[in-house]
Structure 1
Amino acid sequence: MTAVSVLDDQTAAAIREAITAARSGRIPEAVSIAERALANGGDVAALNAMIGTLHCQTGNLDAGIRHLQAARQARPSDPVVSSNLATALAQKGDFAGALDALSEDVARTDPTMQLLRVRAFLAQQVGDYSAAIRTYESIVAVAPEDWESWNNLGNARRLAGDIEGSVAALERASDLNSAAPPIRLNYATALAAVGRVDDAEAQLRRMAEDFPQDTKSLRELHAMLKELGREEPALEAIEAASKRDPADIELLLALASQRLNLLHTEAAEEAYRKAVEREPGNSLANLGLAVVFELTNRTGDLSNLVNEAQKRGVGEDVLNFIRAFDYRRQKKFDEGLAALEKVPDELETARRCHLLGQLEEGAGHYDEAFAAYTRMNEIQRGDPTRPEERAAAYRTVVGNQRETISAKWLKGWREDASKCDRPSPAFLVGFPRSGTTLLDTMLMGHPNVEVLEEEPTLLKASKILPFDALADASDQRIEEARNEYFKVAGERTPLAPGKLLIDKNPLSMNALPTIRRLFPEARIILALRHPCDVVFSCYATNFKLNDGMSNFLGLDTAAELYDLSFSYFEKAQGLLGLSVHKVVYENVVGDREIELRSLLDFLGLEWSDDVLDHESTALSRGRIKTASYAQVAQPIYSQAAGRWTNFREHLEPVLPVLEPWLAKFGYSL
């Protein structure tokens, strides 16, 4: 109740009687007693304060606020009245009104500083961070051990944009109370925001150890690592979180999504099915299954899923999304467009725009298709891993390496006396979307071939032997890098004796110097396709955004990388003398046997008719990691050649960049 100095006898008696009734649970009677006293001329402030408080206790906030406002008007400096009014207004969601009710002058009359804490919280809620910061700073100046206020100060500073100040305050809060997971989580988040990601990771990992039942630290670790593009450690974090709380459907879906992002399709399907078992109508789980079936060419399962999901009670929005996937596979493009049109804009993800583009293109609506692909790339540009910056950095690296290599540079190479005890692999390279996946699928059919499909073999080896160290690398360092290469390869394929290892990774065309240093006898298969088809197809594909593929978010940067990559490749090939065999996609489409016989001769392999049955090979190989997963499971069709002509107008700005390569490779506009 409100604090008063002197009350008239009538008011004092009414308050005593009302308190007695309230303590006995007779709140309406207590209100009536106070109201009668107020009507008979009792103390306005005291009685309105009592009536307002009683109404608030019963949940009648509107009436309570009305009376408390009357009490505050009569006695504006009363801290109890102001506090009760502020609390009621905050419960109604009127934080601005609550902040106004609890003035700074009134809050400072409270020796416990609790009202200052309330006022600071209210200021933070209305976005007045400077007031919140000023108030919290005044509290910790008097009570430096108040870890809650240090924590709140850190949050207020972060919201105000003072990240460094936020870290300092949260570090102090964490030091004062390391047993509070929310404080340490806030501290780790602030560390990440200020760019101290290693410290943030260490803090989150310690939290995960210190609080073995808690999942929040692992959730945050997963989110941070994912934003940094560290997909494998991010998977480990979300797997650990889901293991701690298997019943948490959100964790299970995050686990499934992360597995799918890494194309661990079997494991993703397992997680999505568990989610469906727990919540049959869960939209994300059912849609996730559709994506898994789409990526693994399981057209029958995709068709069946439409009816199964409908029986499970999945909403129409997601059902239409799944139907659109199925219609695209059946080449029922108009039906697919009609289904996708019923999917609301809130589901406008990059995957949805990609599907829309494919359906529009299949229906012959080329301008609409291009608009959908453009929207897909606009969405991808907003990815928190800053793909455009990473793409620019990648082009800079390729350009710098191209300028570095020269006859003089090569002459300075230290001779490598080490001997590799394994046969050299062959490397299948070429600009993405040049037919490398079709080609590696054909080669997989050969009984004496093992194919690695876009595995980080050279990436891992390059961490031991980076480009800058190639020239003067010691025998020991070269051998270490080579051993790391085969270690990574051996984790992904048997490396059976007598079989030729073919390492397919398109943009390894920008790694010829590393290949030459590790494997001087390596044979290089260069896949070629019409440059305009290649660049457009890259632009129209929903790639996983690694540093190289991030260049395809714009036609200009895709063309720029094409020019950089081939000029680098040609210069490196001329200097390094590696054995290169070109396979032209359009020739494969025209007569695959002639093209494949020539390739097998180059690789020193006997002819095998099995290489011609790429459809069976594609269906038996299971997961296909690349964007060509659907095409390679189908018959070769000539429409893929010349696809770009339907989008000629949109490619006009980049044709000057590509024209020299068109002429060089024998293509025309």
Structure 2
Amino acid sequence: MTAVSTLDDRTVAAIRDAISAARSGRVSEAFSIGERALAEGGDTAALSAMLGSMYCQSGNLEAGVRHLRAARAARPDDAVIAGNLASALAQSGDHPAALDILTAEVAAADPSLNMKRLRAFLAQETQQFSIAVPTYEEVVAAAPADWESWNNLGNARRLAGDIEGSVAALERAAELNPNSPPVRLNHAMALAALGRVDEAIEKLRGMADEFPSDTRALAELHAVLRELGREDDALDAIEEASARSPDDIELLLATASQRLNQLRTSPAEDSYSRVVQLEPGNALGNLGLAVVYELTNRTAELAELVTKAQERGVGDDVLNFIRAFDHRRGKRFAEGVSALDKVPDELETPRRSHLLGQLKEGVGAYDEAFAAFKRMNEIQLGDPTRPGERAEAYRNLVRTLSATVTPEWIGSWREETEPYSGPTPAFLLGFPRSGTTLLDTMLMGHDGVEVLEEEPTLLRASKILPFEDIPVASDEQIRLAREEYFRVAKLHAPLTPGKLLVDKNPLSLNALPIIKRLFPKAKIILALRHPCDVVLSCYITNFKLNDAMSNFLRLDTTAELYDLSFDFFEKAHQLVDLPVHTVIYENVVGDRETELRALLDFLELDWSDEVLDHEATAMNRGRIKTASYSQVAEPIYNRAAGRWQNYRKHLEPVIPVLEPWIAKFGYSL
């Protein structure tokens, strides 16, 4: 502002009296003095600048900006007025306008560097990193101990794509102020972005221990671990964060989502219920409950939730989402489509697209259904865990295993000193969506059977006995791997003496060598279904994205994995010589008793009529972990056999890959 000595007496007096009134707490009087002097012809720039600053200090940013604009119009070259106007615009949230005012020249006129700091911040907020980064660099060059600006420079560099520069700036900020959790958090996240993930995890864990009341480090640790595919560790992190702040709705929702992602439906329900208890109309909390009820076949509670959510004040968008779930369960497909059509695209999640596909299929709109399923997979491919890359790595692993399993490799196996004579599971295999869940549900009805449903028994055993060690494994290594197998199995089944353990895990198709090594007399149940139906069903199912299931996000990689897996199974089966009994899904649909009698004979089990009542077994078994959770609770139906014909034109590109298997398994096109 120009010096007071250049102002007219009326303006000088008004400014003096207004400031005196404001300092005495008579703010309204101060405004009146200034406005009156302005109306009576006082100096526009000086009075408007004063009034603008006073209005901003009182919280009336709109009036403050108006007066400061008038002051700047009167004195466009006054850097102080320009800086005050930029600050007011920034406070009001108009960052682009503030940056336009706060030019490099205006910022440079402030010896305190505050205007440069503000200019850099505004540029960062408007994603103009070519301005933000060099401006922050000017600040830290002039004030090298300014840890906050080093921190902001690090963040700006990261957002601009300069990850190494970001880490360097944030390391400096952390050195200057090691007691700032935000700085250390930003440093850890920059390390993760640079690929130094182990260091990032170590720093985040250290922060979580050092600041026990803080949840941000644990929340970020959860995000990093989830991106790495370390789902169990990610769950531990977010559960600990939520435990530290049990009423934090965002943490509760993140915990519920992680639990649901791992199909831990009961704990997920607890978290969603807590959200609804704290905030009855919370959209994601109510929608989460709907998903839990859907996954656990609780159709009555799903129907009741529609009314309860409406009473809680849930918005129409999510309410219609819940209604669509209920309509699908009630097979009111047209009503479901109508409800889901009212849900805006902003809620386009994989689950929404999957539901839309199911509803469109229900009304016979197969092209629209396929488009919805395709959209579901496109969304999933964008997941930060890089499912496309993980899928490719899994296929390459199967190729490597297949190339390794040769007659010479099998012939090189060292024999155990004493043949194994302990309990031996049967293994239920088959490409996903081949009817394995229906079959294991039927077997659960037999009182002489215990079923493991896709538990990591072989995976954990292979940590002790990896694939490359199978030929040369010592007796001790094999014994420890078996113990680990049964330790994991015991977590999920009682392992009652005299009962047959059936270990159902479809893609153990690719695990015959370790099965043979651990259990030389194991029996293999192979579930088969028309390859086109299997590939279609995998592609249109909303799976949890582990490395294997990530292949199902594209139709071509689904078919490719089918081909690779059965090629490996056929090759390994001929070499490891385990007894295999094939169960044809279409035969189960047509005559389940005949198919089940043959299976029980193979397993050396007496006949039991209870295996025929799979619906009662399904309802009694509680949570079903697989994507077949809804179908196995229904009567056996024929519509799933030959379903692929409705989508034939969409499957044409992959039929050549499947055709050899279609012929081998006795199916037709």
TM-score normalised by the shorter chain: which range applies? over 0.9
Instruction: Report the Cα distance in structure 2 between the residues aligned to 1:473 and 1:405, rounded to whole angstroms.
Output: 16
Instruction: Report the Cα distance in structure 1 between the residues aligned to 2:13 and 2:357, rounded to whole angstroms.
Output: 79
1:308-319 to 2 correspondence within 5 Å?
308-319=308-319
Instruction: Report the Cα distance in structure 2 between the residues aligned to 1:305 and 1:96, rounded to whole angstroms.
Output: 45
Q: Relative to structure 1, is the Cα distance of residues 256 and 566 closer, same or farther in structure 2, using a 3 angstrom cutoff?
A: same
Which deviates more, 559-568 or 34-43? 34-43
Aligned residue for 2:503, secondary structure, equals strand
Which deviates more, 268-277 or 44-53? 44-53
In angstroms, what is the RMSD of aligned CA positions?
A: 2.4
**What is the CA-CA distance between 1:271 and the residue it aligns to?**
2.1
Instruction: Report the Cα distance in structure 2 between the residues aligned to 1:350 and 1:285, rounded to whole angstroms.
Output: 17
Q: Aligned pair 1:342/2:342, yes or no?
A: yes
1:204-215 to 2 correspondence within 5 Å?
204-215=204-215
Instruction: Report the Cα distance in structure 2 between the residues aligned to 1:312 and 1:96, rounded to whole angstroms.
Output: 40
The superposition leaves residues 67-89 of structure 1 with CA deviations (integer Å, 9 ceiling, x where unpaired) of: 54565566666553332122122
Instruction: Report the Cα distance in structure 1 between the residues aligned to 2:61 and 2:307, rounded to whole angstroms.
Output: 50
The superposition leaves residues 83-112 of structure 1 with CA deviations (integer Å, 9 ceiling, x where unpaired) of: 212212223333344334334344334443
| Paired position in structure 2 for 1:7 | 6
Instruction: Report the Cα distance in structure 1 between the residues aligned to 2:279 and 2:180, rounded to whole angstroms.
Output: 33
Identity of aligned residues (%): 69
Q: Counterpart amino acid of 2:322?
A: I
Q: Aligned pair 1:91/2:91, yes or no?
A: yes
1:202-601 to 2 correspondence within 5 Å?
202-417=202-417, 420=420, 422-601=422-601
Q: Counterpart amino acid of 1:531?
A: P
Q: Counterpart amino acid of 1:473?
A: A
Which deviates more, 231-240 or 138-147? 138-147
Instruction: Report the Cα distance in structure 1 between the residues aligned to 2:199 and 2:159, rounded to whole angstroms.
Output: 21
Instruction: Report the Cα distance in structure 1 between the residues aligned to 2:340 and 2:165, rounded to whole angstroms.
Output: 48
Which deviates more, 274-283 or 189-198? 274-283
Q: Aligned pair 1:137/2:149, yes or no?
A: no
**What is the CA-CA distance between 1:134 and the residue it aligns to?**
1.6
| Paired position in structure 2 for 1:196 | 196
Aligned residue for 1:640, secondary structure, equals coil
**What is the CA-CA distance between 1:312 and the residue it aligns to?**
2.7
The superposition leaves residues 185-240 of structure 1 with CA deviations (integer Å, 9 ceiling, x where unpaired) of: 21122122122222222222111111111121222222222222222122212211
Q: Relative to structure 1, is the Cα distance of residues 315 and 128 closer, same or farther in structure 2, using a 3 angstrom cutoff?
A: closer
Instruction: Report the Cα distance in structure 2 between the residues aligned to 1:60 and 1:342, rounded to whole angstroms.
Output: 40
Instruction: Report the Cα distance in structure 1 between the residues aligned to 2:25 and 2:53, rounded to whole angstroms.
Output: 14
Instruction: Report the Cα distance in structure 2 between the residues aligned to 1:363 and 1:308, rounded to whole angstroms.
Output: 28
**What is the CA-CA distance between 1:243 and the residue it aligns to?**
1.3
Which deviates more, 175-184 or 522-531? 175-184
**What is the CA-CA distance between 1:483 and the residue it aligns to?**
1.9
| Paired position in structure 2 for 1:647 | 647
Instruction: Report the Cα distance in structure 1 between the residues aligned to 2:333 and 2:488, rounded to whole angstroms.
Output: 42
**What is the CA-CA distance between 1:457 and the residue it aligns to?**
1.0
Q: Relative to structure 1, is the Cα distance of residues 51 and 609 closer, same or farther in structure 2, using a 3 angstrom cutoff?
A: closer
Whether contact under 8 Å (2:136, 2:153) holds in the other structure is yes
| Paired position in structure 2 for 1:610 | 610
Q: Relative to structure 1, is the Cα distance of residues 64 and 402 closer, same or farther in structure 2, using a 3 angstrom cutoff?
A: same
Instruction: Report the Cα distance in structure 2 between the residues aligned to 1:609 and 1:66, rounded to whole angstroms.
Output: 84
**What is the CA-CA distance between 1:431 and the residue it aligns to?**
0.5
| Paired position in structure 2 for 1:81 | 81
The superposition leaves residues 373-405 of structure 1 with CA deviations (integer Å, 9 ceiling, x where unpaired) of: 122212211211111111111111111211221
Instruction: Report the Cα distance in structure 1 between the residues aligned to 2:630 and 2:238, rounded to whole angstroms.
Output: 29
Aligned residue for 1:428, secondary structure, equals strand
Q: Counterpart amino acid of 1:273?
A: S
Whether contact under 8 Å (1:283, 1:314) holds in the other structure is yes
Whether contact under 8 Å (1:418, 1:479) holds in the other structure is no
TM-score, normalised via structure 2 length: 0.94
Whether contact under 8 Å (2:83, 2:106) holds in the other structure is no
**What is the CA-CA distance between 1:66 and the residue it aligns to?**
5.2
Q: Relative to structure 1, is the Cα distance of residues 190 and 654 closer, same or farther in structure 2, using a 3 angstrom cutoff?
A: same
Q: Relative to structure 1, is the Cα distance of residues 299 and 85 closer, same or farther in structure 2, using a 3 angstrom cutoff?
A: closer
Instruction: Report the Cα distance in structure 2 between the residues aligned to 1:40 and 1:292, rounded to whole angstroms.
Output: 70
Q: Relative to structure 1, is the Cα distance of residues 80 and 447 closer, same or farther in structure 2, using a 3 angstrom cutoff?
A: same
User: Structure 1: any 5+ residue segments left out of the alignment?
Assistant: none
Aligned residue for 2:538, secondary structure, equals helix
Aligned residue for 2:427, secondary structure, equals strand
The superposition leaves residues 247-283 of structure 1 with CA deviations (integer Å, 9 ceiling, x where unpaired) of: 2222222222222221112222222222222222222
| Paired position in structure 1 for 2:118 | 118
Instruction: Report the Cα distance in structure 2 between the residues aligned to 1:593 and 1:49, rounded to whole angstroms.
Output: 90
Q: Relative to structure 1, is the Cα distance of residues 40 and 252 closer, same or farther in structure 2, using a 3 angstrom cutoff?
A: closer
Q: Relative to structure 1, is the Cα distance of residues 91 and 577 closer, same or farther in structure 2, using a 3 angstrom cutoff?
A: same
**What is the CA-CA distance between 1:294 and the residue it aligns to?**
1.5
Q: Counterpart amino acid of 2:234?
A: A
| Paired position in structure 1 for 2:161 | 161
Q: Relative to structure 1, is the Cα distance of residues 208 and 32 closer, same or farther in structure 2, using a 3 angstrom cutoff?
A: same
Q: Relative to structure 1, is the Cα distance of residues 303 and 47 closer, same or farther in structure 2, using a 3 angstrom cutoff?
A: closer
Whether contact under 8 Å (2:95, 2:125) holds in the other structure is yes
Aligned residue for 1:179, secondary structure, equals coil
Q: Counterpart amino acid of 2:6?
A: L
Aligned residue for 1:635, secondary structure, equals coil
| Paired position in structure 1 for 2:101 | 101
Instruction: Report the Cα distance in structure 2 between the residues aligned to 1:34 and 1:318, rounded to whole angstroms.
Output: 52
Q: Relative to structure 1, is the Cα distance of residues 64 and 415 closer, same or farther in structure 2, using a 3 angstrom cutoff?
A: same
Aligned residue for 2:6, secondary structure, equals coil
The superposition leaves residues 331-373 of structure 1 with CA deviations (integer Å, 9 ceiling, x where unpaired) of: 2222222222222222222112222222222222222222221
Q: Relative to structure 1, is the Cα distance of residues 289 and 41 closer, same or farther in structure 2, using a 3 angstrom cutoff?
A: closer
**What is the CA-CA distance between 1:30 and the residue it aligns to?**
4.3
Q: Relative to structure 1, is the Cα distance of residues 429 and 274 closer, same or farther in structure 2, using a 3 angstrom cutoff?
A: same
The superposition leaves residues 159-204 of structure 1 with CA deviations (integer Å, 9 ceiling, x where unpaired) of: 1111111111112212222222211221122122122222222222
Q: Counterpart amino acid of 1:267?
A: P
Aligned residue for 2:639, secondary structure, equals helix
Q: Counterpart amino acid of 2:184?
A: R
> When the two structures are aligned, how many residues end up with a matched partner?
668
Q: Counterpart amino acid of 2:280?
A: P
Instruction: Report the Cα distance in structure 2 between the residues aligned to 1:40 and 1:289, rounded to whole angstroms.
Output: 66
Instruction: Report the Cα distance in structure 2 between the residues aligned to 1:75 and 1:66, rounded to whole angstroms.
Output: 14
Instruction: Report the Cα distance in structure 2 between the residues aligned to 1:332 and 1:429, rounded to whole angstroms.
Output: 34
Aligned residue for 1:639, secondary structure, equals coil
